[in-house]
């Protein structure tokens, strides 16, 4: 069932994004008075079609689902003798260069607009995300040495407001790519008692030297290199499974694990890791039950998982981080969606540039198999995750099509830009050579993408 869901989620996402992209070209062509002969979702042989409208435009579904196209009246394809004289003014090549630029650019623009609409809807609805609360950094880590501590809540990064953990990740990654330090404002428990007898919250400013990281660190988990991770809830036991070692030891749901073998337990994740690392080893658990504290001896059962030996007590743990609903009004949603789309596009272009310069590995190039995998995973996580995924892929599709590679929209925009500068169109011979070079380059990129996809899936 997972495979079926993955395939369906991928086809729905890709079909929607390609349709929106091609509809951008179609709508721009109609606005410019160009006659559209066919609108196809998919490539290759047409398997279903219907004609509509004054021009009898053919709306088609083609055999290969990876793509689509809008076929316009074009003297280069149909030939002058095949075009009726009354249709010649509506032929694509007879339009001004600015109209042709508009028609070609409308596809990527449609993808960016779709991303803005999706993000705006998500921000307006509200997105549940983990709060930007830090788990204890190692004393030798960059984060700890800079002054960050366990339980700190990040409020801003270099003046940019942070509402969630994903906001913090994004802003930090931007600073890493720019090779700049980050000024982080955090909120933490004060070390002194507040005047009313309770602990207060204070703000601290921490300078994080992100320039110590390389661009290649972004390819991996750059937060772990800083010593940063997401805070987890305390080690409070959930359901005790029947027949397990936890039940045999007398543990109950709601028990809080304070220490293991006299070592304090930071949170539920630390407890889980300690148990997993101790198969068939007696552990002295210091328990808080109600107002009482006492010790319990429990021995995790040995289990084999993926060829590794791990310990199991057969108890459920709540490891989900503390969440916050990130929600904005209609106007702010649009502004934030536009900013996110712009920032993501710029970062995509920046990463592509760093790939060309060798700063970032070509392993980051992904293809349809990876996209399908993420489509399935996000669809299983819920509608919000799936729509966020679609917005991101829509931006990626827009960026990819703007690359100055012949056969892509960006290649045609390059031709027309040269025409604007020189006052005359490129020669047919140059166009033919460029198309062949572009197709070869595109096939090479696809080959790298498929190779990377297969390696990821196998690993």
Q: Which of 105-119, 263-277, 331-345, 347-361 has the lowest mean pLDDT?
A: 347-361
The DSSP output letter for 230 is B
Query: Which H/E stretch holds residue 447?
Result: helix 428-458
- Would the pLDDT of 192 be above 50? no
Q: What is the pLDDT of residue 195?
A: 45
- Contact between 157 and 182 under an 8 Å Cβ cutoff? The reply is yes
DSSP secondary structure code for residue 425 in this structure: P
Q: Which domains does the chain have, with CATH numbers?
A: 96-126+329-459 (no CATH), 142-226 (2.30.42.10), 237-317 (2.30.42.10)
Kind and range of the H or E run holding 30:
helix 2-31
pLDDT, average across residues 225-242: 91
- Helices of type H across 69-213: 75-78, 97-125, 142-146, 165-177
- Cα dihedral angle (129, 344, 215, 408), rounded to 10 degrees? 140
Cβ contact 38:58 at 8 Å: yes
Question: Mean per-residue pLDDT for 207-222?
Answer: 79
Can you give the pLDDT at residue 279? 93
Q: Which residue has the tokens 């047409």?
A: 46
Q: Give percent of the chain above pLDDT 90.
A: 56
Active site positions, annotated: 22
The confidence score (pLDDT) of residue 96 equals 93
Neighbours of 59 (CB within 10 A): 16
DSSP alpha helix (H) spans, 228-363: 245-248, 268-276, 330-357
- Whether 238 has a pLDDT exceeding 50, the answer reads yes
- pLDDT at position 305 is 81
Per-residue confidence band for 219, with pLDDT thresholds at 50, 70 and 90: low
Confidence of residue 196 (pLDDT cuts 50, 70, 90): very low
* Cβ–Cβ < 8 Å for 160, 166: no
Report pLDDT for 199: 59
DSSP string, 39-72: EEEEEEEEEEEEEETTTTEEEEEEEEEEEEEEEE
């Amino acid at each position: 069932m997972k495979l079926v869901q993955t395939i369906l989620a991928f086809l729905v996402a890709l079909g929607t994004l390609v349709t929106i992209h091609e509809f951008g070209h179609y709508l721009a062509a109609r606005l410019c008075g160009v006659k559209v002969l066919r609108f196809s979702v998919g490539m290759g042989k047409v398997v279903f079609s219907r004609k509509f409208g004054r021009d009898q435009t053919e709306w088609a579904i083609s055999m290969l689902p990876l793509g689509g196209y809008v076929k316009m009246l074009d003297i280069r394809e149909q030939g002058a003798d095949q075009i009726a004289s009354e249709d010649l003014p509506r032929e694509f090549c007879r339009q001004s260069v600015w109209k042709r630029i508009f028609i070609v650019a409308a596809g990527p623009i449609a993808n960016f607009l779709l991303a803005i609409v999706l993000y705006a809807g998500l921000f307006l609805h509200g997105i549940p995300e983990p709060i930007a609360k830090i788990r204890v950094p190692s004393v030798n880590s960059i984060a700890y040495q800079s002054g960050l501590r366990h339980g700190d809540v990040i409020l801003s990064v270099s003046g940019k407001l942070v509402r969630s953990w994903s906001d913090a990740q994004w802003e930090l990654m931007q600073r890493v790519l720019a090779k700049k330090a980050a000024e982080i404002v955090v909120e933490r428990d004060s070390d002194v008692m507040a005047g009313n007898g309770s602990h207060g919250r204070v703000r601290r400013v921490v300078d994080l030297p992100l320039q110590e990281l390389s661009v290649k660190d972004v390819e991996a988990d750059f937060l772990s290199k800083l010593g940063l991770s997401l805070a987890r809830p305390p080690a409070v036991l959930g359901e005790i499974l029947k027949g397990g070692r936890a039940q045999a030891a007398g543990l109950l749901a709601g028990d809080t694990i304070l220490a293991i073998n006299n070592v304090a337990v930071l949170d539920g994740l630390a407890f889980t890791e300690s148990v997993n690392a101790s198969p068939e080893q007696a552990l002295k658990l210091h328990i808080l039950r109600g107002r009482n504290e006492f010790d319990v001896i429990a021995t995790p059962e040995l289990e084999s998982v993926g060829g590794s030996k791990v310990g199991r007590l057969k108890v459920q743990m709540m490891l989900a981080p503390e969440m916050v609903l990130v929600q904005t009004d209609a106007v702010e949603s649009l502004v934030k969606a536009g900013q996110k789309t712009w920032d993501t596009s710029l970062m995509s272009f920046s990463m592509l540039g760093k790939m060309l310069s060798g700063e970032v590995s070509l392993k980051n190039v992904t293809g349809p198999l990876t996209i399908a995998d993420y489509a399935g995973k996000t669809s299983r996580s819920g509608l919000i995750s799936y729509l966020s995924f679609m917005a991101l892929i829509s931006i990626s599709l827009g960026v990819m099509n703007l690359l100055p590679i012949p056969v892509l929209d960006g290649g045609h925009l390059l031709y027309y830009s040269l025409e604007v500068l020189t006052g005359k169109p490129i020669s047919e011979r140059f166009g033919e050579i460029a198309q062949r070079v572009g197709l070869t380059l595109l096939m090479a990129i696809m080959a790298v993408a498929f190779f990377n996809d297969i390696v990821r899936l196998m690993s």
